[in-house]
């Protein structure tokens, strides 16, 4: 044990553990290498152990800062003054207990809609300079500023409104924005190999002889709290599985004398055999017995199961039984259990992966699921995706019916009803050619590249034919990639760039946009400190009445603009929906006839109709297009509002909802700075508040617009529920006839449901508009009031902190030191 360790323990108030550290020969080098298990053995009491871990974390952070300082300096020009400061911990050494990162809150949102690979040519020199900064240098800046703001937060009291307001603003600074990229594609299309190649984890997602389970969603994201590979498994509930078992039992009984070749029969058998082997064939009585769940007690206890491993290969072997089935039966797998029928979602976390830092990749089933909780999660994730990848093999990509069916079935969820900005149609296995054995490498290369061009052209032409999809997306939002994961790794015939894997990697890097997160945090922190220092200086007292009047006048004018745009939007929506109601009343009879009668007789249609009424008007086959009678009935309303909805709620964030009127809201603080220079710090803070509330409202609008859009179908679904229940009650002879007549008569008796659906949408739209206006007005009024009208209060001097954060701010935004 050396003096460094002894002094640190004494400094940290842990003198009673000095002898223990001495006995274990802990020196300066081994101190920073201690893991949780070793710390638990060294310090057996919980209180001192927690304190030690916190102090050790700060010590490591200081050392990282020192090591990185030189590397950051090298990235700047030789004559540029190095402005990255790592003094925060030293400045505040006397109060180390409060120097910690505030807990983050998850907020999935979008930051970019136009991710062009050549965008760097249009950037300012300052921005290019910042982007040349290594990623870890930005993370150090971010960590440094977070520590400063945590220290300031602790120094603010709770005795007055302004201090409480400032503490809340600091607490709200940190948001972990995550982009969702949804990945669709049938089994065998190469999704796993593609994802493994893109994120540079060759053995993470299993492929090959292991059959994918199409009902389990797999999320991939960065592990930000550990250096291990981790899988978090979320199960459906015991009650849900019990209900499924009951349904399987009824279904299989009815199938004894019927066709056993349909997909639903095989689906039921596959699930039961995966979990129970052959036991379910003998009896259904005790299938909830605890003996079947010995390996997964978490399922019975309604908990999530966590798997942790040191390598991707190990984790893959551990979680495969929760996501897939082995296609090789009878080869040493007798009695082996596969738990995927009980799994809702698996979240795989990968350590230190730059592609997943602020992005979550989600491997999704194409049609949702018959299990309600899985289906609700599926709908939520699909609707939150900012980008969708459709993965299919290149040899039949343009004519691949299943791929286009998937895209068509989710188009309304990801388009008007979602947040999707881009669709990437990804053709895999581009290196596979028939009869290429006798060709030279150059010939194979030429054939591959030629076919890639042909496939891209054919897919774009096919996209132009997809009228239902094009209702929601334009040519600009549709891109084609021809990829080869195998060639990316081996480079037999193609260069890495020609495999187009690097294009997708750059796309994910742009989505991560770590720079944007750092700049946003540092900018807002700078302006909060500016407000505190401005409030202390009180240099604006003589003219604060004038400034407030100007700000409130500007706010009133801007709110009027927002209100006017919203009133116009409401009028336009009402006109479109009125037209949709009339069309619905005229066409619903024909729609019912086409669905219930035309050329549809016999046992096959009876089974299909029964599935539809059992599931509230919706049937999702394992393959092919889903059937949604509610959506068919609401289709005229949906079509009537489609164009106006897209115009009002653009998924491109830079444009913004309601013709961009939220994004253009401004108090004109910048122009007021010239006239009221003594109020500069407060006005800059208000500028930040503008940007923050606009971003917050855009996120809220983005979430709520999905509820507005889906309300048409949901209203019809709720009104039809009674009819479905009546139809389901029939048994014996003429059941099919009675079911048809019941559904038809129910619709005839409820034809005012189209008017109800219209009114529900308008009500939800109105409520959203009122909320946006009230929140915007209340937030800005409060910010103006506390910036200029607050009574005298005791605030800490933050001039040192402001100076340090300003240095970081100047480096990031490229602003000269004397501008502010």
pLDDT reported for residue 110: 37
The whole-number pLDDT of residue 255 equals 62
> Would residue 646 count as lying in a domain?
yes
Confidence of residue 516 (pLDDT cuts 50, 70, 90): low
The predicted-structure confidence for 66-107, as pLDDT tens digits, reads as follows: 554 444 444 444 333 333 333 333 333 333 332 222 233 334
Q: Same domain, yes or no, for 718 and 591?
A: yes
Q: Say how many domains are in the chain.
A: 3
Q: How confident is the model at residue 476 (pLDDT cuts 50, 70, 90)?
A: confident
Last-in-domain residue among 33, 67, 101: 67
Between the CA of residue 585 and those of 581, 607, 756, what are the distances in Å? Answer: 6, 29, 12
pLDDT tens digit string along 292-301?
999 999 999 9
pLDDT in tens, 276-328: 988 898 888 889 999 999 999 999 999 999 999 999 999 999 998 998 766 44
Side-chain half-sphere exposure of 637, counting CA atoms within 13 A: 32
In angstroms, the CA 762 to CA 755 distance is 11
pLDDT for 15 equals 82
Q: What is the mean pLDDT of residues 6-24?
A: 84
Q: What is residue 422's three-state secondary structure?
A: strand
Question: Residue 63 sits in a domain of what CATH number?
Answer: 1.10.150
Structure token pair of residue 730: 């029939």
Are residues 720 and 782 both part of a single domain?
A: yes
Q: What is the three-class DSSP state of 426?
A: strand
Among candidate residues 520, 695, 687, the one with its CA nearest the CA of residue 138? 520
Query: Quick one: pLDDT band at residue 119, thresholds 50, 70, 90?
Result: very low
Distance CA 684, CA 770 (A): 28
257 has a pLDDT exceeding 60: no
**From 136-145, 214-223, 548-557, the region with the lowest mean pLDDT:** 136-145
Q: Has residue 766 been placed in a domain?
A: yes
Question: Taking CA 163 as the corner, what is the angle to CA 161 and CA 166, rounded to the nearest 5 degrees?
Answer: 105
Give the count of alpha carbons within 13 A of 391, CB side only.
26
One domain, residues 561 and 480: no
- Are residue 577 and residue 504 in the same domain, yes or no? no
Answer whether residue 40 is part of any domain: yes
Examine residue 746 and state whether it is found in any structural domain, yes or no.
Answer: yes
For 491, phi then psi, to 5°, come to 55, 45
Q: What is the average pLDDT score of the chain?
A: 81
Token pair of 751, please? 């034809």
Same domain, 555 and 482: no
The pLDDT of 21-35, averaged and rounded, is 86
Q: Please report which confidence band the pLDDT of residue 136 belongs to, taking 50, 70 and 90 as the band edges.
A: low
Out of 462, 483, 517, a domain closes at 517
Give counts: helices (H), strands (E), the chain: 30, 14
| pLDDT band of 542, cuts 50, 70, 90 | low
Q: pLDDT tens digits, residue range 556-607?
A: 999 999 999 999 999 999 999 999 999 999 999 999 999 988 766 777 788 8
For residue 181, give the H/E element and its range: strand 175-184
In a domain, residue 144? The reply is no
- Assess contact for 180 and 362: CB atoms under 8 A: yes
- Is there a domain that residue 278 lies in? no
**Encoded tokens for 658:** 């309601």
Report if residue 367 sits inside a domain: yes
Does position 46 have pLDDT exceeding 70, yes or no? yes
Q: Is the pLDDT of residue 360 over 90?
A: yes
Which residues face 360 on adjacent strands?
Answer: 180
d(CA 62, CA 463): 54
pLDDT confidence of residue 727? 93
Is the pLDDT assigned to residue 116 strictly greater than 60? no
Residue 580 bridge partners (DSSP): none
- Tell me, yes or no, whether 573 and 506 share the same domain: no
Helix 680-728 vs helix 514-537: angle between axes, to the nearest 10 degrees? 130
First to last CA, the chain: 50
579 and 512, same domain (yes or no): no
Domain annotation covers residue 138: no
- Rounded Cα gap, residues 40 and 444, in angstroms: 59
Beta bridge partners of 427: 392, 482
Bridge partners, 325 (sequence order): 211
Cα 178 to chain centroid distance, Å, stands at 5
Same-domain check for residues 684 and 772: yes
**Residue 132 Cα distances to 75, 203, 205, 506, 727, angstroms:** 7, 31, 32, 15, 66
Answer for the pair 504, 198: CB distance below 8 angstroms, yes or no.
Answer: yes
Residues 481 and 625 in one domain: no
329 has a pLDDT exceeding 70: no
Give the pLDDT confidence score for residue 200 in this predicted structure. Answer: 93
Cα distances from 700 to residues 117, 180, 599, 703, 733, in angstroms, run 30, 17, 46, 5, 52
Distance separating alpha carbons of residues 796 and 802, to the nearest angstrom: 12
Q: State residue 281's pLDDT score.
A: 87
- The residue among 178 and 449 whose pLDDT is bigger is 449
pTM for the whole structure: 0.73
Question: Per-residue pLDDT for 385 more than 70?
Answer: yes
What is the reported pLDDT for 790?
57
Answer whether 113's CB lies under 8 Å from 421's CB: yes
Residues 698 and 655: their CA atoms lie apart, in Å, by 10
For residues 599 and 490, state if they share a domain.
no
Tell me which residue of 517, 516, 522 sits closest to 147, measured CA to CA: 522
Q: Domain with 374 in it: what CATH number?
A: 3.40.50.300
Tokens 């307001």 correspond to: 165
Q: Which pLDDT score is estimated for 817?
A: 35
Q: Which of 99-103, 472-476, 798-802 has the highest mean pLDDT?
A: 798-802
640 and 688 in a single domain? The answer is yes
Q: Where are the alpha helices (DSSP H) in 466-543?
A: 467-470, 485-490, 501-512, 514-537
Helix (H) or strand (E) holding 390: strand 387-393
With 60 as the cut, is the pLDDT of residue 108 above it? no
632-638: average pLDDT: 95
DSSP category for residue 82: P
Nearest in space to 3 (alpha carbons), one of 31, 29, 27: 27
Q: Are residues 466 and 562 in the same domain?
A: no
Distance of CA 716 to the CA centre of its chain: 29
Question: Which residue range is the domain that position 29 belongs to?
Answer: 3-67
Q: What percent of the chain has pLDDT over 90?
A: 37
Q: String of b and e for 722-741 (b: at least 16 CB within 10 Å)? A: ebbebbbebeeeebbebbbe
Token pair of 338 as six digits: 């596969």
- The whole-number pLDDT of residue 128 equals 42
């Amino acid at each position: 044990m050396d003096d460094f360790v002894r002094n640190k323990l004494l400094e940290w108030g842990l003198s009673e553990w000095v002898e223990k550290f001495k006995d274990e020969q802990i020196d300066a080098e081994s101190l920073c290498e201690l893991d949780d298990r070793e710390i638990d053995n060294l310090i057996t009491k919980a209180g001192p152990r927690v304190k030690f871990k916190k102090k050790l974390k700060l010590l490591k952070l200081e050392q990282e800062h020192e090591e990185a300082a030189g590397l950051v300096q090298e990235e700047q020009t030789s004559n540029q003054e190095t402005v990255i400061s790592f003094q925060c911990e030293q400045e505040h050494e006397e109060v180390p207990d409060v120097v910690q990162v505030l807990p983050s809150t998850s907020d999935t949102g979008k930051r970019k809609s136009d991710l062009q690979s050549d965008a760097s040519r249009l950037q300012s020199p300052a921005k290019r300079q910042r982007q040349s900064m290594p990623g870890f240098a930005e993370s150090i800046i971010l960590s440094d500023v977070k520590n400063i703001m945590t220290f300031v937060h602790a120094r603010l009291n709770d005795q007055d409104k302004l201090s409480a307001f400032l503490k809340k603003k600091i607490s709200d600074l940190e948001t972990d924005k995550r982009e969702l990229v949804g990945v669709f594609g049938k089994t065998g299309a190469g999704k796993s190999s593609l994802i493994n190649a893109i994120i540079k984890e060759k053995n993470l997602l299993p492929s090959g002889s292991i059959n994918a389970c199409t009902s389990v969603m797999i999320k991939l994201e960065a592990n930000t709290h550990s250096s291990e590979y981790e899988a978090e498994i979320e199960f459906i509930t015991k009650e849900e599985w019990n209900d499924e078992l009951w349904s399987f039992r009824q279904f299989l009984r009815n199938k004894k004398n019927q066709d056993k070749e349909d997909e639903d029969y095989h689906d039921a058998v596959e699930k039961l055999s995966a979990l129970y082997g052959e036991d379910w064939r003998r009896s259904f009585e005790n299938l909830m017995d605890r003996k079947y769940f010995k390996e997964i007690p978490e399922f019975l206890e309604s908990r999530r199961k966590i798997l942790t491993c040191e390598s991707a290969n190990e984790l893959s072997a551990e979680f495969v039984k929760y996501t897939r089935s082995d296609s090789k039966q009878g080869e040493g797998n007798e009695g082996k259990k596969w738990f995927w029928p009980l799994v809702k979602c698996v979240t795989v976390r990968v350590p230190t992966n730059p592609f997943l830092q602020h992005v979550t990749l989600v491997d999704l089933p194409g049609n949702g699921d018959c299990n309600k909780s899985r289906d609700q999660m599926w709908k939520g994730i699909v609707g939150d995706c900012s980008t969708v990848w459709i993965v299919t093999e290149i040899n039949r990509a343009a004519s691949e019916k299943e791929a286009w069916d998937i895209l068509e079935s989710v188009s309304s969820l990801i388009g008007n009803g979602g947040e999707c900005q881009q669709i990437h149609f990804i053709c895999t296995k581009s290196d596979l050619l028939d009869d290429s054995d006798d060709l030279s490498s150059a010939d194979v290369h030429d054939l591959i590249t030629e076919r890639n061009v042909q496939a891209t052209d054919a897919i774009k032409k096919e996209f132009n034919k997809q009228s239902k999809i094009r209702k929601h997306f334009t040519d600009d939002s549709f891109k084609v990639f021809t990829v080869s994961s195998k060639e990316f790794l081996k480079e037999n015939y193609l260069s890495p760039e020609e495999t187009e894997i690097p294009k997708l990697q750059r796309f994910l890097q742009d989505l991560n946009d770590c720079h944007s997160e750092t700049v946003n945090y540092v900018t807002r922190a700078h302006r909060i400190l500016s407000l505190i220092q401005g409030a202390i200086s009180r240099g604006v007292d003589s003219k604060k009445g004038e400034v407030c009047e100007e700000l409130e006048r500007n706010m009133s004018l801007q709110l009027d603009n927002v209100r006017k745009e919203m009133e116009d939007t409401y009028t336009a929506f009402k006109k479109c929906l009125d037209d949709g109601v009339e069309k619905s009343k005229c066409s619903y009879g024909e729609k019912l006839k086409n669905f219930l009668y035309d050329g549809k007789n016999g046992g096959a249609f009876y089974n299909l109709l029964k599935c539809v009424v059992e599931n509230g008007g919706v049937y999702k086959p394992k393959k092919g297009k889903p059937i949604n009678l509610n959506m068919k009935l609401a289709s005229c309303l949906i079509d009537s509002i489609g164009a106006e909805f897209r115009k009002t709620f653009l998924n491109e964030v830079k444009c913004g909802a309601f013709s961009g009127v939220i994004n253009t809201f401004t108090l004109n603080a910048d122009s007021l700075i010239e006239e009221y220079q003594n109020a500069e710090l407060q006005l800059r803070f208000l500028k930040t508040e503008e940007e923050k509330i606009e971003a917050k409202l855009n996120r809220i609008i983005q979430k709520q617009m999905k509820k507005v859009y889906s309300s048409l179908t949901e209203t019809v679904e709720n009104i039809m529920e009674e009819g479905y229940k009546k139809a389901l009650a029939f048994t014996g002879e003429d059941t099919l006839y009675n079911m048809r007549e019941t559904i038809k008569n129910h619709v005839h008796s409820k034809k005012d449901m189209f008017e109800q659906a219209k009114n529900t949408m308008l009500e939800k739209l109105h409520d959203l508009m009122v909320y946006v206006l009230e929140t915007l007005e209340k937030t800005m009024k409060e910010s103006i009031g506390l910036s200029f009208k607050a009574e005298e209060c005791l605030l800490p001097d933050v001039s040192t902190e402001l100076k340090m954060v300003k240095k970081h701010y100047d480096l990031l935004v490229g602003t000269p030191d004397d501008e502010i």
